[in-house]
Structure 1
Amino acid sequence: MPAFSWLALFFGAFYFVYGAYLPFWSLWLEGIGVSAEAIGMLLGAGMAIRFAGNLMVMGRIKGAAQLLPVTRLLCLLSLLAFLGFYLSHQLWWLVALTLVANFIYPTLMPMGEALATRMVLQTQLDYGKVRLCGSAAFILASTLVGALITDWGSQWVLHIMVLGLGLMLLLSWLPLRPAPQDVKGERAHASLRDTLKSAAVRRFLLVTALLQGSHAAYYGFSAIHWKAAGYSGTTIGYLWALGVVAEIAMFAADKRYFSRFGAQRLFLIGAIGCLLRWGLLGATTEFGVLLFAQLLHGVTFCISHLGAVRFMTRGLAPEQLIPTQALYAALSLGITVAALMTLSGLLFEPLGGGIFFIMALVVLPVFVLRLKPEHPSSA
């Protein structure tokens, strides 16, 4: 199967599951009787263990040929892990299974990104277009699950996730052509430690950690916050879907309108969007404002993520791609979000929507940080 089709299906399956998990997992936990503080702890612990999972799994990949077999194994283990949530709702079991599931399942995100960036190098893949297939699947899942939990209850969050994980496992076994392989003349992959010695990589990780970490309150508590304001699960699903519609538009426009922009400019645009979006979400739950704030997801997440892709594909040597991808997933999308999500859980009851103002403060250093690219094209 051609790389574009394979990756479109894989991203579609992964983000379909993620579209059920990210907006609604907190509601599933609330539905089985878990307190807000415990939800924050579970979500934070899950995000934190991603740090270890991403580093341990991605760090052991020594060549591009290993990407596909490891992806298939992770799909199987992810399905088994989430099936475990049917067995018990005791807090100790939820903690243990949260750690296991989040060690395995989220690692599929950097694996998919590593496969995609490898195909960018091998086939000049249009990353934006293939990635928007995942965003479309996210919309489908968030809309579907929002409607299901309104009519049938929050237990449908887990049901849809398990169905999606089964589909992803089947799709992962389709043949990928061309197979991932190292670029001719490419040196041996750098270690994580050697990669971290690069000043450019360290600065990149700090900037992306602040931008992506600021989404922690949104990921963990927007659904609960909006539900408390009187919005139904269906409406919450639509709000999340609207954010991803904006994301799709940005991914679709990437090659035509944003390809001339380097990582630095994209990160600054993302930071401006974060200040505006988190300020609005902290100030009000008025529906019109929520609609506008959700459209800004295309800036706060998508433009920031495109900046990361731009830096990795234009500013790094090929042998640095996989370790930098692992560090980006572990630090920027993992441990930083985990810490800020745990903080959000502790502050949500006393502050409510005020936790979004804290997220706005997080992105301020991005305006004074400057990347130190190893190649001018990533500036």
Structure 2
Amino acid sequence: MPAFAWMALFFSAFYFVYGAYLPFWSLWLEGVGLSPQMIGTLLGAGMAIRFAGNLLVMGRVKGAAQLLPVTRLLCLLSLLAFLGFYAGHAPWWLVVLTLVTNFIYPTLMPMGEALATRMVIQVHLDYGKVRLFGSFAFIVASTLVGLLVSHQGSDWILHTIMAGLLLLMVLSWLPLHPAPSDVVGEKARAGLWQTFRDPAVRRFLLIAALLQGSHAAYYGFSAIHWKAAGYSGSTIGYLWALGVVAEICMFAADRRYLSRLPARPLFVVGAIGCLVRWSLLGASTELGVLILAQLLHAVTFCVSHLAAVRFLTRELAPERQIPTQALYSALALGMTVAVLMALCGSLYEQWQGGIFWLMALFALPALWLRPRRELA
């Protein structure tokens, strides 16, 4: 199967699962009787264990040829791990399963991104266009689950995740042509610590952590906050879907309108978007404000992520792309979000929407930081 079609199907299946998990998992946990503080602790612990999973799994990938076999194994293990949530809802069991599932399943994100960036190098894959298939699948899932929660209850969150994981496992075994391979003349893959010691990589990771980490309150508590404000599960699903529609439009416009821009200006735009979006969500739960804030997802997440892809594919040597992708996922998308999500969990009952103002403050320093090209 050609690289574009394979990656489009893979991103579609992965982000279908993510579209059921990310907006609604807190509602599933609430539905089995957990308090907001316990939910925040669990979500934070899950994000923290992603740090270990991303580093340990991605750190063992010795070259591009190993990306596909490891991805297939992770798909199978993810399906088996989520089956455990049907076995019981005791708090200790949920803690164990949260750690296991978050060690395995989220690592598929950096693996998929690593496959995509490798295809950018090998066949000049249009990353923005192929990635929008994942965004569209996210919309389908979040809309579908929102309707199911409204009419059938929160149990259908887990049912939808399981269906998506089964599809993901099947699709991952389709043949990929060309297979991921090292570039002719490419040096041996750099180690994680060696890569992290590069000042340019560390600066990139700090900027990405500020911007992506500031999404912690949104990922963990927007559904609970909006539900408390009187919105139904279906409306919450539509709001999340709207954000991803804006994301799709941005990904679709990437090659035509943004391809000439390097990482630096894109990060600045992402930072400005974060300040505006989190301020809006902190100030009001009026529907018009929420709609505007969700449209800004195209900036806060999408433009910031495109900036990261620019840095990975244009400003790093090929042998450093896989370890830097692992560090990006572990630190910016994992550990930073984990710490902030746990913090938001402890503050939510008292602060309510005020946690979004905290996220705006967290993103603020990114305005003055600029990524640098690799020095080593």
TM-score, scaled relative to structure 1? 0.98
CA contact (8 A) 2:201 2:374 kept: no
- Give the Cα–Cα distance (whole angstroms) in 2 for the partners of residues 246 and 16 of structure 1: 17
Q: Which structure 1 residue ranges, 4+ long, deviate > 6 Å from structure 2? A: none
Partner of 1:320: 320
- Give the Cα–Cα distance (whole angstroms) in 1 for the partners of residues 283 and 211 of structure 2: 20
- Give the Cα–Cα distance (whole angstroms) in 2 for the partners of residues 53 and 367 of structure 1: 30
Partner of 1:306: 306
Partner of 1:195: 195
| Matches for 1:15-26 after TM superposition, within 5 Å | 15-26=15-26
Partner of 2:162: 162
Partner of 2:57: 57
Amino acid at match of 2:230: G
- Give the Cα–Cα distance (whole angstroms) in 2 for the partners of residues 7 and 26 of structure 1: 29
Partner of 1:216: 216
- Give the Cα–Cα distance (whole angstroms) in 2 for the partners of residues 201 and 128 of structure 1: 23
Could you say what the CA RMSD is over the residues aligned between the two structures, in angstroms? 0.6
User: Does the residue aligned with 1:175 lie in a helix, a strand or coil?
Assistant: coil
- Give the Cα–Cα distance (whole angstroms) in 2 for the partners of residues 247 and 195 of structure 1: 30
Amino acid at match of 1:347: L
1:45 aligns with 2:34: no
Q: Deviations over 1:140-185 (max 9, x none)?
A: 0000000000000000000000000000000000000000000000
> How far does residue 36 in structure 1 lie from its aligned partner after superposition?
0.3
Partner of 1:95: 95
> How far does residue 367 in structure 1 lie from its aligned partner after superposition?
1.3
> How far does residue 374 in structure 1 lie from its aligned partner after superposition?
2.6
Partner of 1:372: 372
- Give the Cα–Cα distance (whole angstroms) in 2 for the partners of residues 303 and 367 of structure 1: 14
Partner of 1:240: 240
Partner of 2:28: 28
- Give the Cα–Cα distance (whole angstroms) in 2 for the partners of residues 281 and 367 of structure 1: 20
Partner of 1:180: 180
Partner of 2:281: 281
> How far does residue 260 in structure 1 lie from its aligned partner after superposition?
1.2
Partner of 1:257: 257
Amino acid at match of 1:344: C
- Give the Cα–Cα distance (whole angstroms) in 2 for the partners of residues 368 and 142 of structure 1: 35
Amino acid at match of 1:30: E
Partner of 1:207: 207
Amino acid at match of 2:13: A
User: Does the residue aligned with 2:374 lie in a helix, a strand or coil?
Assistant: coil
- Give the Cα–Cα distance (whole angstroms) in 2 for the partners of residues 373 and 120 of structure 1: 19
> How far does residue 349 in structure 1 lie from its aligned partner after superposition?
0.3
- Give the Cα–Cα distance (whole angstroms) in 2 for the partners of residues 165 and 281 of structure 1: 32
User: Does the residue aligned with 2:136 lie in a helix, a strand or coil?
Assistant: helix
Amino acid at match of 2:309: V
Amino acid at match of 1:286: E
CA contact (8 A) 2:51 2:331 kept: yes
- Give the Cα–Cα distance (whole angstroms) in 1 for the partners of residues 63 and 370 of structure 2: 31
| Matches for 1:132-171 after TM superposition, within 5 Å | 132-171=132-171
Q: Deviations over 1:212-271 (max 9, x none)?
A: 000000000000000000000000000000000000000000000001111110000000
Amino acid at match of 1:182: D
- Give the Cα–Cα distance (whole angstroms) in 2 for the partners of residues 98 and 69 of structure 1: 24
Q: Deviations over 1:25-83 (max 9, x none)?
A: 00000000000000000000000000000000000000100000000000000000000
Amino acid at match of 1:4: F
The runs of 5 or more residues in structure 1 that have no matched partner are: none
CA contact (8 A) 2:279 2:357 kept: yes
- Give the Cα–Cα distance (whole angstroms) in 2 for the partners of residues 268 and 43 of structure 1: 29
Partner of 2:11: 11
- Give the Cα–Cα distance (whole angstroms) in 2 for the partners of residues 8 and 374 of structure 1: 30
- Give the Cα–Cα distance (whole angstroms) in 1 for the partners of residues 234 and 227 of structure 2: 10
CA contact (8 A) 2:20 2:145 kept: yes
TM-score, scaled relative to structure 2? 0.99
Partner of 1:358: 358
Amino acid at match of 1:244: V
Partner of 1:73: 73
Q: Deviations over 1:299-344 (max 9, x none)?
A: 0000000000000000000000000000000000000000000000
The runs of 5 or more residues in structure 2 that have no matched partner are: none
User: Does the residue aligned with 1:285 lie in a helix, a strand or coil?
Assistant: coil
> How far does residue 24 in structure 1 lie from its aligned partner after superposition?
0.1
Amino acid at match of 1:368: W
Amino acid at match of 2:39: I
- Give the Cα–Cα distance (whole angstroms) in 1 for the partners of residues 334 and 270 of structure 2: 19
> How far does residue 197 in structure 1 lie from its aligned partner after superposition?
1.2
- Give the Cα–Cα distance (whole angstroms) in 1 for the partners of residues 67 and 93 of structure 2: 31
- Give the Cα–Cα distance (whole angstroms) in 1 for the partners of residues 71 and 261 of structure 2: 31
- Give the Cα–Cα distance (whole angstroms) in 2 for the partners of residues 371 and 24 of structure 1: 34
User: Does the residue aligned with 1:363 lie in a helix, a strand or coil?
Assistant: helix
- Give the Cα–Cα distance (whole angstroms) in 2 for the partners of residues 367 and 16 of structure 1: 32
- Give the Cα–Cα distance (whole angstroms) in 2 for the partners of residues 216 and 68 of structure 1: 30
- Give the Cα–Cα distance (whole angstroms) in 1 for the partners of residues 322 and 346 of structure 2: 35
